[in-house]
Amino acid sequence: MKCTSCDSHNVQRVQMAYEMGTHTISTTSKGTISGTSRTISSSGGGRQQTELARRLSPPRKRSLTFASVFMLIGLFMFLGGMNLAKETSRPQTASSAQVQHKQKKKVEKVDLALEATTATMPAAELSPLIATFTNPVVLTGLVISLLGIAWSIRNRLWNRRQWPLLFAEWQRLWICNQCGTVFAQ
């Protein structure tokens, strides 16, 4: 194998250059508090990477975390809105005089046609379901949940279909250690 740019034989796979420039670090510290017999310990870790390894890193899969958070926020808003809509759609107790007055007003407004009767009724009387889904919190929660589901499906499909192709292409790449050209086998 030789470089396509400078014809040097000093080449290596990009995957190997990436692995040689990436190191996992783990640390542990222990100490005592002066004047006491208490011991303090801490541990940590991380990843150290050269600039070349960072530049040659493999393609990353798309995260599902944000989509899941979107779905959960939307679900909580949806369920909270449903509960709120149930609470506000419960019939209010009224005195019999108020009920008779309302019925008298309705009778005066009623036309012989059924359409006129249903047009004067509030949405809550037509259907509690319609009243529930016209609640802005319920609608917002539903939209956010659906967006989160769509985002999650899109990322999962990309991770299954596109990422393997990109990763296989990355595995076929070579780098020239003399001129720095990256080329495919």
**Predicted local distance difference test score (pLDDT) of residue 88:** 65
Beta pairing partners, 13: 174
**Predicted local distance difference test score (pLDDT) of residue 78:** 87
| 27-41, 69-83, 92-106, range with greatest mean pLDDT | 69-83
Task: State the Cα–Cα distance between residues 32 and 37, nearest whole angstrom.
Answer: 7
Q: Which residue has the higher pLDDT, 46 or 35?
A: 46
What's the whole-number mean pLDDT along residues 29-34? 80
Task: State the Cα–Cα distance between residues 126 and 134, nearest whole angstrom.
Answer: 13
Beta pairing partners, 42: 29
Residue 105 has pLDDT above 70, yes or no: no
Q: Which residues contact 148 (CB under 8 A, 6 or more apart)?
A: 67, 68, 69, 70, 71, 72, 73, 74
C-alpha pair distances (Å), 112 with each of 48, 116, 117, 132: 81, 8, 8, 29
**Predicted local distance difference test score (pLDDT) of residue 158:** 97
β-strands 182-184, 22-32: how paired? unpaired
Q: Which residues contact 81 (CB under 8 A, 6 or more apart)?
A: 135, 136, 137, 138, 139, 140, 141
CB-CB contact of 174 with 183 (8 Å):
yes
Q: What percent of the chain has pLDDT over 70?
A: 75
CB-CB contact of 40 with 33 (8 Å):
yes
Q: What percent of the chain has pLDDT over 90?
A: 47
95: DSSP letter: -
Task: State the Cα–Cα distance between residues 148 and 101, nearest whole angstrom.
Answer: 48
**Predicted local distance difference test score (pLDDT) of residue 111:** 43
Global confidence as pTM: 0.62
What's the whole-number mean pLDDT along residues 166-178? 96
Unique residue bearing structure tokens 């149930």? 86
Residue 137, SS3?
helix
Q: Which residue has the higher pLDDT, 8 or 96?
A: 8
Q: 5-14, 55-64, 105-114, 125-134: lowest mean pLDDT where? A: 105-114
Task: State the Cα–Cα distance between residues 62 and 39, nearest whole angstrom.
Answer: 42
- pLDDT-derived band at 161 (thresholds 50, 70, 90) equals very high
Mean pLDDT of the chain: 81
